[in-house]
A = this chain, B = another copy of it.
């Protein structure tokens, strides 16, 4: 009779260094446990009655639940280095999503990344209004309550700061966990009101080509949005993952521009002014521009690139056993639409195998990929490479640096590499 180990030895790899066919888990799910990752039980299997939580009832339900105190990974960090020394902008802070401890495709709202340039305003929704004005026929003012009576849209989208992975522009790969390297990325189900519906009601005049969106934070952060985008798929988000936006996400309302860099989705939105030209605010001139090798800067490079990263295994864990089958899984996303395919390499990009995509694959949303990998105990370099439905392919680090130079801070989206050593240790490497 064929043992499971025999069956495993019989599996032909689909790429070098042990990558196996993506349908393997569907055919024989139990292979993941080959080699007794689980412990055998001989007697008294559930006799641990001395555990304290079995002896007396615990607490009742909270009015709003929270994670276990044992879950130290369910915390957002504000890593050093983002805000320059001597930063005098009061209230500037950030919070990075800890992808090393998460899975699935949605991010809990409490762990959604945040960058707050001027603090988080504590807005009384009854005193907050949104005004649409400028080059319109009928300037209009909306309250949160008014917007709640409008026809709603609900869409699952990722949000990414164009500064996500900014530390990967550095010459050395740094000992970075996934929150530090890819934590300015999150996925949510957003609900709100179509911006086109509101603009239609206000009546945009022919010369209105841009919209200046302004927030109600103390710095009134402002960004210029092309009218074409606003009329296409932008919306006023009122809810995130079912509940009202949280203060750090723009409560009671924010602009949401699917697939555009996160800073354009202005939080605490108070004003949409229709104009014939962009406002050239600080956040589209001094910040959020791309310095190119020739010394010029790309401006209004708003649409996010195609990108992916392996979230497990990562340097937050150690592979416990050689010659076992592991799942390689991660996230892929593109500002241009759906992910078409994700390939995984275990040999630093020499050979590739196509991963399984978890459905439904939604446009401009995080897409989870999975591939079985038999680790034989030798060093390996794990990578993922995403392709979106427009044909955009995630570049290698070398390709990205060749195209954009080394002075970048934003829009880093190259292939990411995990180096696995012979002991199962994992490190962030450039390859």
Contact = CB atoms under 8 A, between A and B. Distances in A.
Interface in A258-278: 268, 270-271
B32 A150 contact: yes
A108 B241 contact: yes
A329 interface: yes
Given A60-B91, A65-B246, A91-B59, A150 B33 contact: yes
Contact of A39 (B63, B140, B189, B247): B140
B104 A63 contact: no
Interface stretch (A116-124, A164-172, A286-294): A116-124
B191 A41 contact: no
A42 B141 CA distance: 10
A125 B138 CA distance: 59
A318 to B, nearest CB: 11
Contacts of A201: 30, 33, 38
Given A30-B200, A68-B244, A242-B103, A327 B150 contact: yes
Contacts of A254: none
Contacts of A129: 48
A206 interface: no
A247 B74 CA distance: 13
Given A41-B139, A58-B218, A201-B30, A102 B133 contact: no
Contact of A106 (B41, B150, B242, B320): B242
Nearest to A194: B29
A139 B40 contact: yes
Contacts of A77: 63
A30 B65 CA distance: 38
Chain A to chain B: the 8 pairs with minimum beta-carbon distance, closest first: A57-B91, A57-B119, A60-B93, A53-B121, A29-B197, A61-B95, A41-B139, A58-B119
